[in-house]
């Protein structure tokens, strides 16, 4: 959405399409009578007859029936106003976005009044509309050579509202920042692994740093060897692609304190190593860097909105390949923390990458840690494909995180991490830890392994193996990468900054 304008009167709208919400009993909405007069005196009859639908997210498209300057109207059902929430608004506008993408409407006007309730202001509508339409219009262009289809983008968005103009513009800016960052994360996850190598991922982070004035540090193989990052280096041993440890720092205060560390798993392709994945399980492993994409997306929002909270992002980037030099089961490796690890499964590589990454984040001053990873198939077995699994060592920090999750509508479910679980992770005849205690409780053991490297630092682990990719179109986007956790991570940082200022 390239430009925004605000108009106070429907009669002055100039657009390809006007988006109108249709709640149950629209005649109770202020201004609907005037709209009906301008569009068609029969409109309420059409609503009652079901030709224009009030069911949630049901869309009806009609041509303009008058001399108005908008060419078409997109009616979107909202259901009962008492049931309408910001999350449902976001979903409704994402459905609008999908229709705009199909119909190629480039100039869009939204009449905000029908979308408001006692709890939802015009500013809330503007935010949800911008974010929802931005997410709904996402499409990964891919690499086909036989398509002459023009790339689609919304050239202009217009809000029809008498609400405070500055607040509407601010809401638009925030919604646009969130949608754009999620879509960029989706692009990264959708990219093929021959094009998105660890080096290319680091180059993307460098572009982000230049754009938002982040401090950036990129460690290559030589620097990792000097520091003793034996865990990520072990994963990388079978590859011809050099690993990268990508570090972005956003400094919001004079002192580097109260720092939130966002740590992402950036395995750009995972064969499983010598614990080789089956053929069917290998397809889609280009998305094993979904945690890294989530962290980079969150950093883009942070760069746009500049919350008053210090943040460090650390991404361990490598692929996990097979060669004569690749690491293997029964190897013992030494991590950056100094802890030794017995390798029982080379396909349990993400936790090794995260072990060194969270250690580096701690050494760099992180006072809170959140790691994000497509870590285990076990989280899908436990929770399905629509829920992110979580572990924590700190109740208060997890509650803060969950408040952000509830605000964004990204569903997270916490699993227990018990002392018995920790004992199994620490069970090894030859090392401090083992990287794969068994298949039962797999998600807990994967995340719990990372927890062995965080110490007493308040920590949340997020396993997005099920939620980072969608096998079919969903409420907020198409099949493919979802950009999950971008919005929740950024919202958490904003909420923590606001809490600090109180």
Catalytic residue positions, numbered: 277, 351
Decide if 54 contacts 22 (C-beta within 8 A).
yes
Give 41-62 as a DSSP string.
TTHHHHHHHTSS--STT-EEEE
Decide if 269 contacts 460 (C-beta within 8 A).
no
Cα–Cα distance measured from residue 39 to residue 18, given in angstroms and rounded to the nearest whole number = 11
Alpha-carbon dihedral of residues 425, 428, 431, 433, nearest 10 degrees?
0
Cα–Cα distance measured from residue 442 to residue 291, given in angstroms and rounded to the nearest whole number = 18
DSSP 8-state class, residue 132: H
Cα–Cα distance measured from residue 207 to residue 303, given in angstroms and rounded to the nearest whole number = 12
Residue 302, classed as helix, strand or coil, is helix
Tokens of 396: 């208060």
Cα–Cα distance measured from residue 219 to residue 174, given in angstroms and rounded to the nearest whole number = 32
Phi, psi of 429 (to 5 degrees): -80, -15
Cα–Cα distance measured from residue 362 to residue 46, given in angstroms and rounded to the nearest whole number = 62
Tokens of 223: 């620097």
Closest of 19, 491, 50 to residue 302, by C-alpha? 491
- 313 DSSP β-pair partners: 248, 262
Decide if 470 contacts 234 (C-beta within 8 A).
no
Cα–Cα distance measured from residue 235 to residue 354, given in angstroms and rounded to the nearest whole number = 11
Please give the biggest Cα pair distance in the chain: 82
Outline where 322-394 has alpha helix (H). 350-363, 378-383
Cα–Cα distance measured from residue 329 to residue 255, given in angstroms and rounded to the nearest whole number = 44
Give 216-234 as a DSSP string.
EEEE-HHHHHHHT-HHHHH
Please count the other Cβ atoms lying within 10 Å of the Cβ belonging to residue 381: 13
How far CA 220 is from CA of 205, 288, 315, 326, 367, in Å, comes to 14, 20, 12, 18, 25
Decide if 115 contacts 152 (C-beta within 8 A).
no
């Amino acid at each position: 959405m390239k430009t925004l304008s605000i108009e106070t009167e429907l009669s002055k709208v100039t657009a390809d399409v006007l988006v109108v919400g249709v709640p149950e009993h629209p005649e109770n909405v202020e201004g609907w009578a005037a709209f009906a007069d301008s569009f068609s005196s029969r409109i309420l009859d059409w609503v009652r007859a079901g030709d224009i639908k009030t069911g949630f997210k049901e869309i009806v498209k009609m041509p303009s029936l008058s001399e108005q300057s908008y060419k078409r109207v997109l009616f979107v059902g909202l259901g009962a106003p008492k049931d309408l929430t910001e999350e449902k608004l976001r979903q409704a506008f994402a459905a609008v976005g999908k229709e705009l993408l199909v119909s190629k409407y480039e100039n869009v006007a939204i009449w905000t009044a029908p979308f408001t309730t006692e709890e939802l202001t015009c500013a809330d509508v503007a935010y949800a509309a911008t974010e929802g339409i931005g997410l709904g219009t996402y499409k990964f262009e891919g690499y086909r050579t036989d398509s002459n289809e023009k790339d689609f983008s919304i050239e202009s968005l217009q809000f029809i509202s008498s609400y405070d103009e500055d607040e509407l513009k601010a809401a638009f800016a925030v919604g646009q920042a969130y949608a754009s960052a999620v879509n960029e994360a989706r692009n990264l996850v959708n990219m093929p692994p021959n094009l998105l190598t660890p080096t290319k991922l680091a180059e993307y982070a460098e572009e982000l740093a230049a754009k938002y004035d982040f401090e950036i540090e990129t460690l290559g193989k030589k620097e990792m060897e000097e520091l003793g990052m034996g865990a990520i280096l072990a994963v990388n041993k079978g590859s011809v692609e050099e690993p990268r440890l990508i570090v972005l720092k956003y400094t919001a205060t004079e002192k580097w304190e109260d720092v939130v560390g966002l740590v992402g798993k950036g395995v750009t392709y995972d064969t499983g190593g010598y614990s080789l994945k089956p053929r069917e399980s290998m397809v889609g492993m280009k998305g094993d860097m979904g945690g890294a994409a989530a962290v980079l997306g969150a950093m883009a929002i942070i760069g746009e909105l500049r919350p008053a909270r210090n943040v460090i992002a650390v991404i361990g980037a490598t692929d996990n390949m097979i060669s004569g030099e690749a690491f293997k089961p029964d190897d013992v490796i030494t991590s950056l923390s100094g802890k030794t690890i017995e390798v029982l499964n080379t396909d349990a590589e993400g936790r090794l990458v995260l072990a060194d990454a969270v250690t580096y984040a701690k050494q760099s001053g992180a006072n809170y840690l959140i790691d994000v990873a497509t870590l285990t198939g076990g989280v899908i077995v436990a929770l399905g494909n629509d829920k992110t699994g979580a572990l924590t060592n700190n109740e208060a920090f997890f509650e803060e995180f969950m408040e952000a999750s509830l605000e964004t509508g990204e569903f997270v479910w916490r699993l227990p991490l018990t002392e018995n679980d920790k004992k199994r992770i620490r069970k090894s005849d030859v090392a401090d830890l083992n990287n794969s205690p068994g298949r039962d409780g797999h998600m807990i053991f994967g995340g719990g392994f990372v927890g062995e490297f965080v110490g007493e630092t308040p920590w949340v682990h997020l396993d997005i193996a099920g939620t980072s990719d969608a096998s079919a179109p969903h409420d907020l986007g198409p099949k493919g990468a979802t950009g999950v956790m971008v919005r929740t991570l950024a919202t958490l940082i904003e909420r923590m900054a606001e809490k600090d200022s109180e």
